[in-house]
Structure 1
Amino acid sequence: AGGANSAAARLALRRSLGPAAPLRRYGLLREHGEAAVELAQELIPAPGVLDFLLGWGGDVGLLGHDPGEVAPPEPRVLSPYLSSAPLTRLGRALGSGDLDLAGLWGCPPDGQLDAVQALARSAGAPLRTLTADPEADLRTAAVLGAVLWIPTDDLHGEPRRPTTDAVTAALLRSRVPVCLTGLKPWRPAGLLAARAYAELTVPVPGFTDRRAMWSAALPDLNGTLLEDLAVRYRMSGGELRAVAAVADAGARLAGNGHPEPVAAHVEPAIATVTRGRGGGAVHSITPRRTVADLVLPDVQFRQILEIASAFRAWPRIAESWGFARRSGHGGVKALFTGEPGTGKTMSAEIVTGMLGLELLKVDLAQVVSKWVGETEKNMETAFRQAEESHAVLLFDEADALFGKRGEVKHGTDRYANLEVGYLLQRLEASDGLVILTSNLKDNIDPAFTRRFHFVVHFPRPAAAERRRLWRLAFPEEAPLAPDVDVDALARLDMTGAAIAAAARTAALAAADGGGDTIAMRHVVRGVARQFQREARLLRPAELGPHAHLLDNASQG
């Protein structure tokens, strides 16, 4: 009996030192040299372990790490997928052995973790993820009775073929339960034929789910603020946990020992977590101008305000009132048309600021490509960046990108039409706020126009608007001389952008001349320079009693 117990003890000890045991998985013990068989493998403590055991200090978090382990979700943020009946059924089938391969498709990268954790919870199994060695990952998952999670977004395309082949080959030889996730499906035919497979298209969390997630993450927020955050932001559980942590830290820091209410720190925390993801063809703009800077006729002014209101209201009417079932697309799409300088881009910035969001402006020079298929890829990247940043997407001067589809007369015409068709679909699929500006409304394909909820035409400003624009063009701190005749300036046919440029030129002229104030002669010089830039003729009669200043401006 003693021998048996000794053998059992030795076997248990041997198992505790095996490749799937915690000491090896977390890297606390590492292989030293090579052995012919596993039983003969020599093991040594990892760097820092012996020092820690001897009480010489060390960072516990750095001593050991299991790269394949996926920690259970923090209960602070409710997963929106826990209440999904189809996902629960899929998880139970995976746990019972009725299935051994599941696919969860359509979920963006930030949301895939939430979905697969909910699946593993329904399966009643721990969750592990793919590392550099698929076969070792499968062996470890088999020993631990775990579900192996394989994100597939990086397995598409010819450059990834070696990795794809290695993963597929390992899965074909194994029956370990596996969950595949991706924005678009990855379905090798041989793999589906060899395993018991089922899949699910994962829906985007609705307004009710998002509100519950925000409430769980930040329970001190009031109902009105919770609803507003749920409307504006479609965050994953990981992002919400980050926002809550940053907001809590900000409240503690600002309170100087006594934490402030966390509500005041939520918006800065959101900006920290979500913003600054621009790059490539997309440039991030932080809105600085407000409604007070917007000078438009009453009709257009009200339309701009309605866009912000519509974006806030859409999630509620889509889900609570059932309009999502009747509408083929979500989000809010707006088209701004008008001559350059009439306020289209500034209005997009102001709407974004009203919503408290970030504005991502697309650089069309980097999006439109002569190579077949590249424009679509660049467009997808722009839309994806906006969705991941929870930002407003702006296509400025989009005539070239969203032009009319034409008759196929050349080979390239067919590809151009395919690009437009793709853009139509992607615009329709977006759940965010997308704004396009165009200098010429007639240049926009009618198929695009039908998909806009708002079409706002920006006219050239009339005298009343120009008068206000001139007053706004000079900051309160600017030393404006008494002889500056705003009424005379307002009679000049100029756009808002032209007025702002002329005012800036006038200020530079005043500073360059060593004067203490910006006088009318400086403003006339700025106006004259602006007319020259626009290749327009400024007649002395248009300046009325200040016509004589035009000669001086020309000489200057």
Structure 2
Amino acid sequence: MSAPRPGSGPTAPLGLVCRGGADRAGPGPLWSDRDRLAAELAGLRSLVRGDGDGNGGDSDADSGTATSFRATVPSRLDRLAAACGLTEFERAVLVLAAGPELVAATADELLAHTGAPRLSFGAALAVLPGAHWSALTPLAPLRRWGLVRLLDPMSPTASPLMVDERVLHEIVGAGEPDATVAGLARPVPPVHELPPTLTAAALEVVTAWRAGTVALLTGPQPGTAWAVAGLAATSAHRPLLRLSGADLMGAGGDRAELLRRMDRETLLAGYGWAVDVDGLGGAEARVLLDQLSRLVGPVVVVGQVEASDLTGTPVRLPRLTAAERTAALAGALDQAGAGSAADPAEVARVAGVFDLDWDALPRVAAEVAGGEPLWSACRRAGRTAYGRLAQVRSAVATWDDLVLPALPRRQLGALCAAVRQRHRVLGDWGFADRGDRGLGTTALFSGPSGTGKTLAAEVIAGDLGLDLVHVDLSQVVSKYIGESEKHLAALFDAAEGGGAVLLFDEADALFGKRSEVRDSHDRYANLEVGYLLQRMEAFRGLAVLTTNARSVLDPAFLRRVHTVVAFPYPDAELRAALWRRAFPDAAPTDGIDPARLAAIDLPGGGIAAAALTAAYLAAEESSPITTRHVTEAARWELAKSGRTLAALPERRAGHA
């Protein structure tokens, strides 16, 4: 970030500028600025008339001189002159050029003594003390910062000078942000306190500003990033304006002018800039950041960017600890008046599962104050748009729908316990203090197709009251180098924040064994697997991966799995249980014998499909579902794998 002009004057930050009601009502800063400006203008008018020494002559100001006004608290004009590095001559040009707008008689005096009703550079060189030709140049402060403009650019010395409206309002004490900038920007609310983890990140941003570099604030939670930016601005005593990188890039040929106006706002009112670069490509982000790095004011870039490709100071936002999340959620509930209704143990349990954006906490608290259960409010707030990468499935299946031997059922129950008790084991019992790797819960469900692996994931999500996010591997895996990793990172980050159960069906497509490196494709494929293994180990949520071919999985992946649940091919006893659950209570059946149907060699998925097909056949005939319908449907199901249906055993005596 560059200075206005080396050696031309002070360039220290302006700090916060008061915009409150006290600046606009009655005697105070507004009238003080006007009086002092009028006194200074009176002295310059005396020079134009040739009847004074520039100190105000016989003006109405009590002090009699403009200099004595400057000896008090700095006015807006004083701050502007210091920030822009104006010489005394340049300051006088600015004030006298504004004269016709401030005091009507100024135009008459200029016309009478210089031949034009507005000041020109030529007249200023002849009339004002300390004149220097360099003030006319485009890179000198008056023109560089757009304080004045030439009405006739073809004649720099003879052209009338017009003070920009934004500058005119500023020096009389009624300044508002530049209309062009204000149309694209909005204030970042000041933040005065954050948890220690985020406070440390905000101080890193301030440190980057003090070093004169752009802060690259990255992390999976945009709302939290903006809160950190707000705290950094508060710590640096800066008002912060937020702009979209897409808007800046869309400005095209006008971008240079827009950036110049942003610079002027920093000089006039001390603004810093927060730019959202989400949605920009890497090349666009690099171009924009190069231009932002030349701004006078502090800049923080927020968004998912590859910091290694950009020039600046990377600041990676860490996730809050479980204790910090609990305290933050409890604080938000107290502020919303819902603290007394929230059980502390429930708050800790919820905070152990959901890692919400900072700006989502007030919304959650307001919903709880309105009667919404805390868990459901956090679940809704944590939902995110996965786009084409995954789908959120409704988890309606229950434990009664799951037919498994005792051991895998016990393992599935332990997975639910790992999520429910995460806050106690990791936080209260101190396991998280040993490091942040391997703290998540990753389960591998292995077994033949149709044995209930996906159904089990749905049961777990439903039991926990969490969303089931079914990953679409066809959209995740990309032929372009690095894209698969980006997609997986986005999925893991979103699921971790919202507490969702992440389901990868056919995981061997992602976590297959790393191969011998024969060419660059093998090398990048191995790097991809390596990245996924590391990201999975750092994942703090619940990830479920299913496979029909456990033997092809990378051994390093298996070492990082928290639980491996084997789903066996159902024997006759389990098949009978599956047939008993295959037809809902509302479905009309006649003579269905689960023990006889158990002889059909189908897994759970095949049995469910056959039951549904049999129901359609019966409905078409307007009859109950019978064994005939079921066997016909089962025959078709077996044919999918090239098998035929043997004769069913005879009905047992006495079976209805």
Shorter-chain TM-score range: 0.7 to 0.9
Aligned to 1:214: 329
Given candidates 475, 478, 490, the residue that maps to 2:598 is 490
Q: Which runs of 5+ in 2 are unaligned?
A: 1-31, 43-74, 84-148, 152-160, 168-181, 249-257, 334-338
CA distance in 1, matches of 2:460, 2:150: 67
Identify if the C-alpha distance between structure 1 residues 388 and 9 changes in structure 2 by more than 3 Å, giving closer, same or farther: farther
Identify if the C-alpha distance between structure 1 residues 4 and 441 changes in structure 2 by more than 3 Å, giving closer, same or farther: closer
CA distance in 1, matches of 2:474, 2:325: 36
CA distance in 1, matches of 2:442, 2:233: 38
Q: Deviations over 1:282-340 (max 9, x none)?
A: 11112111222221111100111111111232343333333234342332111110001
**TM-score, structure 2 normalization:** 0.65
Moved over 6 A (4+): 9-15
The alpha carbon displacement at 1:272 in A equals 4.0
Aligned to 1:512: 620
CA distance in 1, matches of 2:464, 2:367: 21
- Aligned ranges for residues 29-40 of structure 1 at < 5 Å? 36=151, 39=163
* 2:194 is aligned with 1:79: yes
Aligned to 1:137: 262
* 2:325 is aligned with 1:204: no
Find the residue that maps to 1:544 and give its secondary structure.
coil
Identify if the C-alpha distance between structure 1 residues 370 and 10 changes in structure 2 by more than 3 Å, giving closer, same or farther: same
Given candidates 140, 143, 148, the residue that maps to 2:273 is 148
Find the residue that maps to 2:404 and give its secondary structure.
coil
Aligned to 2:531: 422
Matched-pair contact (CA < 8 Å) for 2:390–2:469: yes
CA distance in 2, matches of 1:528, 1:230: 51
Aligned to 1:386: 495
The alpha carbon displacement at 1:379 in A equals 2.6
The alpha carbon displacement at 1:93 in A equals 5.8
Aligned to 1:55: none
Aligned to 1:278: 386
Identify if the C-alpha distance between structure 1 residues 368 and 85 changes in structure 2 by more than 3 Å, giving closer, same or farther: closer
Percent of residue pairs bearing the same amino acid type: 36
CA distance in 2, matches of 1:412, 1:124: 51
CA distance in 2, matches of 1:364, 1:92: 41
Aligned to 1:68: 186
Identify if the C-alpha distance between structure 1 residues 154 and 166 changes in structure 2 by more than 3 Å, giving closer, same or farther: farther
The alpha carbon displacement at 1:478 in A equals 0.8
Given candidates 545, 549, 553, the residue that maps to 2:650 is 545
Q: Deviations over 1:340-364 (max 9, x none)?
A: 1101111111111222111111111
Given candidates 471, 480, 501, the residue that maps to 1:362 is 471
Matched-pair contact (CA < 8 Å) for 2:222–2:357: no
Aligned to 1:28: none
Identify if the C-alpha distance between structure 1 residues 221 and 484 changes in structure 2 by more than 3 Å, giving closer, same or farther: same
Matched-pair contact (CA < 8 Å) for 1:358–1:392: yes
* 2:351 is aligned with 1:244: no
CA distance in 2, matches of 1:94, 1:318: 34
Q: Deviations over 1:188-220 (max 9, x none)?
A: 88x66xxxx7x6543211111111122122223
**TM-score, structure 1 normalization:** 0.76
Select between 472-481 and 128-137 the one with higher mean Cα deviation: 128-137
CA distance in 2, matches of 1:162, 1:89: 26
Given candidates 324, 345, 356, the residue that maps to 1:224 is 345
Find the residue that maps to 1:399 and give its secondary structure.
helix
* 2:565 is aligned with 1:456: yes
Q: Deviations over 1:108-139 (max 9, x none)?
A: 32320122223233334433334534443343
Amino acid aligned to 2:649 = G
Identify if the C-alpha distance between structure 1 residues 160 and 148 changes in structure 2 by more than 3 Å, giving closer, same or farther: closer
Given candidates 574, 579, 594, the residue that maps to 1:470 is 579
- Aligned ranges for residues 27-426 of structure 1 at < 5 Å? 36=151, 39=163, 41=165, 67-73=185-191, 79-81=194-196, 86-87=200-201, 90=204, 102=215, 104-106=217-219, 108-130=221-243, 132=248, 133-151=258-276, 157-168=282-293, 170-171=294-295, 174=296, 176-183=297-304, 186=307, 200-218=315-333, 219=339, 220-248=341-369, 251=370, 262-264=371-373, 266-275=374-383, 277-327=385-435, 328-426=437-535
CA distance in 1, matches of 2:291, 2:206: 28
Aligned residue pairs, count: 483
Identify if the C-alpha distance between structure 1 residues 429 and 493 changes in structure 2 by more than 3 Å, giving closer, same or farther: same
Identify if the C-alpha distance between structure 1 residues 138 and 509 changes in structure 2 by more than 3 Å, giving closer, same or farther: same
Amino acid aligned to 1:72 = P
CA distance in 2, matches of 1:442, 1:8: 88
CA distance in 1, matches of 2:599, 2:213: 76
CA distance in 2, matches of 1:420, 1:92: 37
Aligned to 2:48: none
Find the residue that maps to 2:455 and give its secondary structure.
helix
Amino acid aligned to 1:342 = T
Q: Which runs of 5+ in 1 are unaligned?
A: 21-33, 44-63, 252-261, 548-556
- Alpha carbon RMSD of aligned pairs, Å? 3.8
Matched-pair contact (CA < 8 Å) for 2:502–2:544: yes
The alpha carbon displacement at 1:103 in A equals 5.1
CA distance in 2, matches of 1:350, 1:9: 79
The alpha carbon displacement at 1:222 in A equals 1.4
Q: Deviations over 1:200-259 (max 9, x none)?
A: 5432111111111221222231113212210111001212223334455xx3xxxxxxxx
Aligned to 1:46: none
Q: Deviations over 1:438-468 (max 9, x none)?
A: 0011011111000010111100123332222
Larger radius of gyration: 2
Identify if the C-alpha distance between structure 1 residues 485 and 116 changes in structure 2 by more than 3 Å, giving closer, same or farther: same
Identify if the C-alpha distance between structure 1 residues 10 and 246 changes in structure 2 by more than 3 Å, giving closer, same or farther: farther
Aligned to 1:524: 631
Identify if the C-alpha distance between structure 1 residues 88 and 284 changes in structure 2 by more than 3 Å, giving closer, same or farther: closer
Aligned to 2:21: none
